[in-house]
C-alpha cells in the first residue's frame, strides 16, 4: 500500500502529499524477494 501511494494510486490525499504525484515513477521500481503469503483460493 505505501508503494501504491508513492506511485500515485490509492487515496488522493496521501498520494498528493507535498503537492505532486507520483513521487516515484513505475519504471524506477524493482521488487526483490517478494513472495505470495496468501493461501491459493479455489473457485
Give the pLDDT confidence score for residue 34 in this predicted structure: 87
- Structural contact between residues 3 and 25, judged by C-beta atoms closer than 8 angstroms: no
pTM over 0.75: no
pLDDT score recorded for residue 38: 77
Q: What is the pLDDT of residue 43?
A: 62
- The set of cell numbers assigned to 7 is 506511485
Residue 42 above 90 pLDDT? no
Residue 7 has pLDDT above 90, yes or no: yes
Residue 2, all three cell numbers: 505505501
Average pLDDT over residues 15-35: 92
Secondary element (H or E) of residue 5: helix 2-6
Amino acid at each position: 500500500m505505501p508503494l501504491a501511494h508513492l506511485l500515485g494510486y490509492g487515496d488522493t490525499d496521501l498520494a498528493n502529499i507535498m503537492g505532486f504525484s507520483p513521487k516515484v515513477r513505475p519504471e524506477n521500481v524493482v521488487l526483490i524477494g517478494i513472495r505470495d503469503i496468501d493461501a491459493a483460493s479455489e473457485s
